[in-house]
A and B are shown apart, each in its own frame.
Chain A
Amino acid sequence: MAGDALGWWGVPLAVGAGAIRVSTPFLFVSLGEVITETSGRINLGLEGTLVMGAMTGYATSFYAGSPWLGVLVAGLVGALLGALHAGICSLPKVNDIAVGIALLLFGTGLAFFLGTPFVAPQAPNLPSIPLGFWSNIPQVQAALKVNALFFIGVAAAPALSWALKNTGLGLMVRMVGDNAEAARAMGYSPLMVRLWATAFGGFMAGVGGSFLSLYYPGSWSEGLSSGQGIIAVALVIFARWRPMACLWASLLFGGAGALGPALQSVGVTGGYYLFNAAPYILTLAIMIISCSPDRTLAGAPGELSITK
């Protein structure tokens, strides 16, 4: 078979394919979190939202038979969790980072609890678009099977980037995030803007979660997420709150995450766990390089608690 002859060439191919496949949840979570953080709030609970999204999406697809309905339900559940975060944070004296951790525990716990009956059954998965039809090498064909959600995410990045810069809604979100007092003086309610921005972030994280359970790896289990929700929050800082940079960063992180399994498939098993941790190491390294004690990060929303 021609495929076996790929040998070491399989590594860059797998990394490229992995970059596309693994990056999709990163992309969705980080695009949502960009909007949330631009409004001046950080939601660390997106990991819990992601897991809840994965569970509810899978369950919906199992009962209704439609994976796309699952994606929608996952998004709505995510939006609900986001709104819960925003609601608690809008109370006085409440720390948004701590609430995020609490909702992380709550979301994962609830998903594990409600998801127990769905570990075994197989739900209909999302279809993929075979872009590798021109090749007769099975690995290439497998690598180029791309999910539609990836394209939606890729389209959403420039759209959000444009909307933040050029629409009244985008301006409002940015103003609330940079100076809540000024926004209030203009007659906007920072709490309401943040509520919608956090709910949007939750929606995107829910959709990102549904990708995990409905496409890759494509089933529901408790070990489904390996911290993608957390990495995505760090990724937003890495991308300096720019949606387009989130896209490139997601691809980079996806590729880094795919490196371990790709090397393992050609017999290099040495640093398997370390390669898995590559996105975390990368994020930390970038933060060490790009942060400074004297000034806040370039592009950081003025009201954001983690950079103030």
Chain B
Amino acid sequence: MSGFARAAFGVLLPPLLAVVAALVLFGAFLAAQGIDPVGAYGLVWLGAFGTWFSWQNTLVRAAPLLLTGLCVALPAQMGLLIIGGEGAFVLGGLASVAAGLYLYNIGCPDMITLILMAAAGSITGGALIAFCGILRIKRGVNETISSLLLAYISIAVMNQIVEGPMRDPTSLNRPSTPTLPSDVMIGTIPNTTIHYGLVFGLVACLAAYFVVYFTKFGFAARIVGGNARAGRVVGLPVERMVVAFCFAAGGAAGLAGMVEVAAVQGAASADLATGVGYTGILVAFLARMNPLALIPVAILLGGLDAAGGLLQQRLGLPDATMLVLRGTLFVMLLGSEALQGRLKRLWPQRVQKPLPAVAS
């Protein structure tokens, strides 16, 4: 094995073992419920990746996860753990609906309206998470707690606005904003049911990967993430970098909110708080905070989401089944961090040792 392959093996083996362990544990859990785990996993495969239809479903569900995953992975480069992506997601969605309705009514060209909607969503989400970064720098408030509190506050603010100033008078039982005209909705990629939000997500992940690993700015960020004091000593503008990364992170989640309203729901309502912000945390941890690795992980989790419906239909399992699998996966994966670096040391070195002479 070459040095690179060995290193990759050492890094990838623990999470792989964790995934296998989680699948075995969850299988045992299903078996304890009297459900055939092999059949259930077969259905999960079918519902997630088995057919072109399920692939499209999976990719549509992966699209927002790419962006909310970035909301966690970007600040993590600087050593910050932001878990309030859900807040940026709902506020971003709300802001883009407001922008879309306003611009459409004043007769703005559709393309420009769409661009401005995306900008409104990103800036709103970005501002929210940047606020967490500013609180961290200026007041020493822990960003994990503050972002989580802000997520709850944002959902309340969104509900308040949807029921109050932006309520569509015709939405009686379930208050929602007026629906966006179809001219300013994001369409689907020709011959598929996949909307262009997936492209946004992929481009954002690739761009983030490039910035983090191939630019001076990204290199500086990783120095700060490793040791903030060292970053200050070498004269890096740590404060400004934290705010910039937090803004970009929130912007990604806000853009996901814009995609959700402009490609899926068409309006903002309480349904906007779908939990993709929280799933994004899991995606980012699974990807070990690497923006490029977000792509396969988001597709994997999007697939699990997509398969949930099929499990429910065929086996009568509750919606929460996938939550249990997701939770088990997450727990095992974090536990596997403990193995990181240890397997690498144990395994390949033993192979390299000369075999002891066999006395006959």
Residues of chain A at the chain B interface (Cβ within 8 Å) = 44, 48, 84, 88, 91-95, 97-99, 101-103, 105-113, 116, 222, 227, 230, 233-234, 237, 270-274, 276-277, 280-281, 283-284, 287-288, 291-294, 306-307
Q: Residue B331 at the A interface, CB < 8 A?
A: yes
Alpha-carbon separation in the docked complex, A95 to B144 (Å): 13
- B278 close to A94 (CB less than 8 A): no
Instruction: Report if B292 contacts A (CB, 8 A).
Output: no
Q: Which of A84, A283, A284 has the most CB of B within 10 A?
A: A284
> Which of B324, B325, B327 has the largest number of chain A CB atoms within 10 A?
B327
| Interface membership of B12, Cβ < 8 A | no
By beta carbon, the residue of chain A nearest B145 is A234
Given contacts A274-B157, A280-B149, A284-B153, contact A109 B334 (CB under 8 A): no
B contact residues around A91 at 8 Å (CB): 335, 337-338
Tell me which of B38-46, B188-196, B256-264, B313-321 binds A.
B313-321
- A residues near B265, Cβ cutoff 8 Å: none
Within 8 Å CB of A233, what residues of B? Answer: 145
Q: When the two chains form the complex, which single residue of B152, B164, B330, B337 contacts A94, counting CB atoms closer than 8 Å? A: B337
- Kindly supply a per-residue 1/0 record for chain B positions 326-342, scoring 1 wherever the CB is within 8 Å of any chain A CB and 0 otherwise: 11101101110110100
How many cross-chain pairs have Cβ atoms below 8 Å apart between A and B? 136
Contacts of A101 in B (CB 8 A): 83, 278, 281, 330
Inter-chain CA distance A237–B149, complex, in Å, is 13
Instruction: Enumerate the 7 nearest inter-chain pairs by beta-carbon distance, A residue then B residue, closest first.
Output: A106-B327, A109-B323, A112-B320, A277-B156, A91-B338, A293-B140, A102-B330
- CA A230 to CA B335, docked complex, whole Å: 22
Q: Which residues of B does A touch, CB under 8 Å?
A: 81, 83, 135, 137-142, 144-146, 148-150, 152-153, 155-157, 159-160, 163-164, 278, 281-282, 285, 318-328, 330-331, 333-335, 337-338, 340
Residue pair B145, A109 in contact (C-beta under 8 Å): no
CB-nearest residue of chain A relative to B150? A284
How many Å lie between the Cα of A237 and that of B142 in the bound state?
Answer: 11
Can you list 11 A-B contacts with CB-CB less than 8 angstroms, sorted by A residue number?
A: A95-B81, A97-B81, A105-B326, A105-B327, A108-B323, A273-B156, A277-B155, A281-B153, A283-B149, A287-B145, A291-B139
CA gap between A227 and B84 in the complex, in Å: 14
CB distance from B321 to the nearest CB of A (A): 6
Shortest CB–CB separation between residue A120 and chain B, in angstroms? 14
Q: Nearest residue in A to B324 (C-beta to C-beta)? A: A109
A103 & B327 in contact (Cβ 8 Å cutoff): yes
Q: Which residues of A contact B144 (CB under 8 A)?
A: 44, 97, 306
Contact B331 A288 (CB under 8 A): no
